[in-house]
Amino acid sequence: MKKISISFLALLLCVQFAAAQKVPVQEIVLDNGMRLLLVPRKGDPNVAAGWVARVGSVNERPGITGLSHLFEHMMFKGTHAIGTKDIAENLKLIKEMDDVRAELRKEQQTLILKARLGEISDSKDPRHRSERHNELLAKFEELTKREKDLMVKDEFDRIYTTAGGSGMNAGTSNDFTVYFINVPANKLELWFWMESDRLRNPVFREFYSERDVVHEERRLRTDSTPTGKFNEQYESMFWQSSPYGWPVVGWPSDLEGITREEALDYFAINYAPNNLTACLVGDVDPARAKELAQQYFGRLPRGPRPPEPVRTSEMPQLAEKRMVAWAETVPQARVRYHTVAEGHPDDFALEILGSLLSGRTGRLYKSLVLQQSVANSAGAGQDGRKYEGLFELTGVAKPGKTPEEVEQALYKEIERMQKELVDANELQKVKNQYAANNFRGIQSNFGLMVQLLLRDSNRGWETINTDPARHQAVTPEDVRRVANTYFKPENRTIAIYYTKKKADGAVEDPALAGLTDQEKAQIAQMKGTLSQAKAEQIKMMLSRFEQEAGSAPPDKQNFIKVVKKMLEDRLKQLEGGKQ
């Protein structure tokens, strides 16, 4: 009789338990339309707390792209009660600043018109500014300084930290904006008060300077990374009409032009309680939580009108699209197909198909990396979003191989999927992985809280209990059918990357000597990310990195050394007060 390993038995038990287990969620709906989800778990001294606004970049329009992400920044600037020494003077200054900016916009529009007509070469060149323009800029700088003098910097964060809160952060995507923190169970009323106060009485301090901060974030994460600008162009090429075609961070010209009035209108509609869901997971008394929710969140007025659903949908793609770029990265290929939104019946089969192709045991790695030796890495996956979906395949070429060879190898694996039924055992293995991941994903209070919020921002929190069965129901015939339905030449968009040659005389950072092109590209991308990270986040990254470094193979030790030094240097900068 064949011996069954303990690890396999553990996995089997996880799969069986996950298939039977349902997350016990209690839902409270307030009179103003706001929902509160509760998952009581006794014994843990902390509560994972958060809320989601059903608004992201897809809800924007040309002219205000990036506004959802800008709000993520502005929501930490304080309220009437938090973040200022004198709220009356603060509000007066904000009004003056808005008036000056309105006059500045007139001056800027004059320069933009002159540039459009060819009368000047650059509307941003200070040499073309009028005397009135310079006077307004000086006045605005003076008002900005006075506002800073009135501010109590980072008071919102400090109140939480002093009370034992940790991990406060937020995130913006195409489809939602989420805010979260861990708080001690005995400080739950503080969370209700703090979060309801910033929804009821927000003060968007440093609004205009924060636009510049986001602009700098865009520069670091997009403009200064090896493939950032190309990826942005690829997105715009792939999406013909859908609002998924513009970046979450926004277009530069929009970031420079968004007004506070536009922001306030956007906030009134999209941050109204009828467009929000909050969630608590941990040692929570449901009766007390309901009482606090009614007391604090219940005072928020409904929005003036319901948020508008996204109207513009993607046009069917009729012909193959192709982009060829030379970048400071390794040669690689990306192939993307239009598919379906999250929750569509085919979404589950496409997710299973992506898992069959990906990972160290997936078909792409076995074929492209091990058997054909055409790629160093390869992967695939379905990305079902709220309104549209896509399926993408990627491959990084081995030295001496071309991106086109990788591209053709990807197509061959897709053709296999279209012609042959996947083996039942291979399919079941992937399903087991899904079940095990579902089980692990609900063990953490924080992870469960985020899952519930993101699900409720789209199809409803209940899908955490119903979706696992839909993955398990996928058949080999379903996998073959979706492969034939969506993976057609006219429905694909390809990006081919070649390595850009260095300019004559260019000097490479000595610290990068000996790294592969792929490792150098990863370092460049990490620099952009680290520029926005806080000291505590970098400490956590450094700690995890040091724990995992010992098990890395010898050929990765040089890369590990460079990354560790980069983390340490950035941490010293932050702790030394330098930005």
Instruction: Indicate which CATH number applies to the domain containing 205.
Output: 3.30.830.10
CA–chain centroid gap for 280, Å, is 22
Q: Which residue has the tokens 């996928």?
A: 474
Same domain, 170 and 119: yes
Cα 240 to Cα 314: distance, rounded to the nearest angstrom: 6
* Residue 566 domain boundaries: 510-575
Name the more confident of 195 and 4: 195
Give the residue from 471, 499, 527 where a domain finishes: 499
Scored b (16 or more CB within 10 A) or e, 467-506 reads bbeebbebeeebbbebbebbbeeebbbbbbbbbeeeeeee
Q: Phi and psi (nearest 5°) for 238?
A: -65, -45
pLDDT digits (tens, 9 = 90+) for 169-189: 999 999 999 999 999 999 999
pLDDT digits (tens, 9 = 90+) for 364-401: 999 999 999 999 999 999 999 999 999 999 999 999 99
> Strand (E) positions, 404-482?
none
Same domain, 411 and 263: no
469 has pLDDT over 80: yes
Segment 38-45 shows an average pLDDT of 90
Same domain, 341 and 278: no
pLDDT digits (tens, 9 = 90+) for 280-296: 999 999 999 999 999 99
Same domain, 340 and 279: no
pTM of the entire predicted model:
0.84
Same domain, 479 and 347: yes
> Strand (E) positions, 356-488?
375-384, 389-397
Residue 509's pLDDT band, with cuts at 50, 70 and 90, is: low
Cα 144 to Cα 208: distance, rounded to the nearest angstrom: 9
Give the residue from 475, 499, 523 where a domain finishes: 499
Is 262 contained in some domain? yes
Q: Phi and psi (nearest 5°) for 310?
A: -65, 130
Is 312 contained in some domain? no
Same domain, 514 and 457: no
pLDDT in the model for residue 8? 37
Is 15 contained in some domain? no
Same domain, 468 and 528: no
Is 162 contained in some domain? yes
Residue 506's pLDDT band, with cuts at 50, 70 and 90, is: low
Same domain, 417 and 520: no
Is 228 contained in some domain? no
pLDDT in the model for residue 516? 72
Same domain, 411 and 551: no
pLDDT in the model for residue 449? 96
Q: What's the number of domains the chain is made of?
A: 3
Is 461 contained in some domain? yes
Same domain, 73 and 203: yes
Report the candidate in 229, 218, 70 with the shortest Cα–Cα distance to residue 528: 218
Residue 551's pLDDT band, with cuts at 50, 70 and 90, is: low
Is 240 contained in some domain? no
Residues 205 and 77 sit within 8 Å (Cβ to Cβ): yes
Give the residue from 476, 499, 522 where a domain finishes: 499
> Under the phi-then-psi rule, with left for phi > 0, alpha for psi from -120 to 50, and beta for the rest, what region is 523?
alpha
Same domain, 564 and 472: no
Residue 12's pLDDT band, with cuts at 50, 70 and 90, is: very low
Q: What percent of the chain has pLDDT over 90?
A: 75
Is 327 contained in some domain? yes
Same domain, 441 and 561: no
